[in-house]
Amino acid sequence: MIRRSQYRCSFKLMGGDMPLDNILDRCRQELLELISNGKLCNASFYRYKDMGFLYLEEIIENADEKNIDVDALMADLKPYLKPWPEEDGDRFFAPMINVYYHHIPEDDLDKWEHERTTSSKQRIGRIAFVYPHKLPSYIMYHNAIVEEGLLKGDKYAFISVHENILFSYYEEPRNNVNIKNSDEESKVIDKWLSVDPESHFDRIKAEGSNFLVIPCLFSVDRIDLLQ
């Protein structure tokens, strides 16, 4: 079983960019070891200015398993990060709340990664800034689209929210599927389109886009070890 999750961190800005290359190499190596040990399938880390976004695919036996300890996993980065205060204490990687996807990865691992092993894929991260007063509307309609399960989109797409910032992971070329594996037309998407989706996004903050593609610091997947 694959569990997907996304996390946000906040970098300290200390008089220019930080010398992260060696630290990122160590984090990447830690993640590769977990992939080699069958604990992870994919780990992709992106950055925009002082914000970092981590996408993970954990390999788990059952849904009750605890999420991986991301703070421990990325511990080498802690001196360069600002803490997020939470109810149980500070943490450096804040969990994001998932609001949107097109596929539930209940298949075996080889079936889940089939598209990745049969064609070259680009792993892309994007962010969007939603106006705070529009965030409930965005979440409501996207939860409804997921619940309906008919809108087709990239199999690996996954969008989560933290505060009013969305992080989107997907892969190209896209393999368009939907949750119900049906060719029925989505009715909920018409409702979303009727409330003016463009009005939800702060395009100034996103440099003229709804979703802005951001740089990838590193990305590792099980298939990288098989090639």
* Structural fold of domain 2-226: Alpha-Beta Plaits (3.30.70)
**Ranges of each domain in the chain:** 2-226
Per-residue pLDDT of the chain (227 residues; tens, 9 = 90+): 999 999 999 998 754 556 677 889 999 999 999 999 999 999 999 999 999 999 999 999 888 888 999 999 999 999 999 999 888 888 999 999 999 999 999 878 999 999 998 889 999 999 999 999 999 999 999 999 999 999 999 999 999 999 999 999 999 999 999 999 999 999 999 999 999 999 999 999 999 999 999 999 999 999 988 76
203 Cβ contact partners less than 8 Å away, ≥ 6 residues apart: 209, 210
Sign of the four-CA dihedral 106, 118, 181, 187: positive
| Cα dist from 17 to 49, 50, 76, 91, whole Å | 9, 10, 17, 22
**In the prediction, which pLDDT does 18 show?**
60
